[in-house]
Amino acid sequence: MIQEQQIILRTPAKVNLSLDITGRRADGYHTLSSVFQAIDCYDTLTIRRIENDAPMTLCCQAEGVPCDSRNLVYRAAQRLLQAEEPRGIAMTLEKNIPSQAGMGGGSSDCAAALLGIRALLKLSVSDQALSELAASLGADVPFFLCGGTALAEGIGEILTPIPDVPERILVVAKGREGVSTPEGYRKLDRLEEPLPMYTKAVLDALHTTQPQRLFAACGNAFDAVTNLREIRKIRLVMSSCGVKPVLSGSGAAVFGGCETMTQAAHLEQLLQGMDFVRICKTIPYGVQQYGTDGIWHSL
């Protein structure tokens, strides 16, 4: 039997169509209720077999992305192969998803590494065991094992997949500044007024045929406490086009739902000065593998 020598995966980003803070656990973690949505902005992870006893390598050219055990891809391999210094594979990561954006880039790469290494090395690890490993690597990682649209509760690890949602067009933008998630939570804790809740309205509007109804329902508790200069600018530009700006995760990316491609192209043009701006579509699946037929397939 010919053994496959490499696997090429693309790993989607996400936005949070809603993010409500629902409470705080005794251990200090905030609980949330959030609708996660995978979008067609991808990193690419290539995993190659090398000699069994050769040390694992991870190569990534992106500025500020570590290539050692601080990288979630590296950590995924350590945990899955149960070795501090894994062997037998070489990985290359091409980043397109911005960091410190709230778009889940690192978590998505991590899920792809788990799925990809299992497939390439034909490891007998069950889906359940892989999900548990994913949750131990980061609260957002289990979502990316399946992608699409899902309701996340608890600290993000309790997932309910939501099937068959119509495709939507979004413009996602981010400036150079990143945000600190712990600082965002501290600011939320200091707020005296009750936090707005969006998830129920988003769930009600998800299947609607009028995109505007869904976009009007989207929102994020961190919107109230995140006010960097570039975020303010993105919000102003989106609002001036009649598009509601919503933070993704704890920021610093902001997305706006558009009714047409023309509206999205206009908005993208206006946001060209930003570090990152992209027209994205929502997608119904997660990590995909490049097939010998030249087509991307769901893993």
Order of strands across the sheet with 254-258? 245-247, 254-258, 169-174, 276-281
Q: What is the distance between the alpha carbons of residues 244 and 254, in angstroms, rounded to a whole number?
A: 10
Burial of 103 (0-12, 13-18, 19+ CB in 10 A): buried
Residue 157 engages ligand ATP in binding (rule: CB under 6 A): no
Q: CB 235 → ligand ATP: shortest distance, Å?
A: 18
Q: CB 185 → ligand ATP: shortest distance, Å?
A: 12
Q: CB 293 → ligand ATP: shortest distance, Å?
A: 28
CA angle 255, 258, 262 (to 5 degrees): 125
Q: CB 73 → ligand ATP: shortest distance, Å?
A: 5
Give the interface segment with ligand ATP, choosing from 100-108, 141-149, 267-275, 290-298 (CB under 6 A): 100-108
Give the interface segment with ligand ATP, choosing from 2-10, 76-84, 101-109, 143-151 (CB under 6 A): 101-109
**Identified catalytic residue from 43, 109, 140, 223:** 140
Residue 106 engages ligand ATP in binding (rule: CB under 6 A): yes
Strands (E), the chain: 6-24, 30-49, 57-60, 89-94, 149-153, 158-162, 169-174, 219-220, 245-247, 254-258, 276-281, 288-290, 296-298
The yes-or-no answer on residue 140 being catalytic is: yes
Strands 169-174 and 254-258: antiparallel
Q: Output 70 or 207, the one with its CB closest to ligand ATP.
A: 70
What is the SS3 assignment for 123?
coil
Residue 66 engages ligand ATP in binding (rule: CB under 6 A): yes
Residue 77 engages ligand ATP in binding (rule: CB under 6 A): no
Cβ-based neighbours of 207, under 8 Å, separated by 6 or more? 164, 165, 166
Q: Within 10 Å of residue 68's Cβ, how many Cβ atoms? A: 8
**Total residues binding ligand ATP (CB under 6 A):** 19
Residue 69 engages ligand ATP in binding (rule: CB under 6 A): no
Residue 109 engages ligand ATP in binding (rule: CB under 6 A): yes
Q: What is the distance between the alpha carbons of residues 252 and 174, in angstroms, rounded to a whole number?
A: 6
Residue 12 engages ligand ATP in binding (rule: CB under 6 A): no
How far is CA 208 from each of CA 71, 202, 212, 221, rounded to the nearest angstrom? 39, 10, 9, 23
Burial of 33 (0-12, 13-18, 19+ CB in 10 A): buried
How far is CA 199 from each of CA 1, 36, 99, 142, rounded to the nearest angstrom? 50, 10, 25, 20
Residue 249 engages ligand ATP in binding (rule: CB under 6 A): yes
Residue 18 engages ligand ATP in binding (rule: CB under 6 A): no
CA 21 to chain centre: 18
Q: CB 168 → ligand ATP: shortest distance, Å?
A: 19
Give the interface segment with ligand ATP, choosing from 61-69, 78-86, 152-160, 166-174 (CB under 6 A): 61-69
The yes-or-no answer on residue 281 being catalytic is: no
Residue 76 engages ligand ATP in binding (rule: CB under 6 A): no
List 17, 41, 47, 101, residue binding ligand ATP (CB under 6 A): 101
Residue 271 engages ligand ATP in binding (rule: CB under 6 A): no
Residue 107 engages ligand ATP in binding (rule: CB under 6 A): yes
Q: Output 65 or 205, the one with its CB closest to ligand ATP.
A: 65
The contact set with ligand ATP (CB under 6 A) reads: 64-66, 70-73, 99-107, 109, 140, 249
Please give the positions annotated as active site. 14, 140
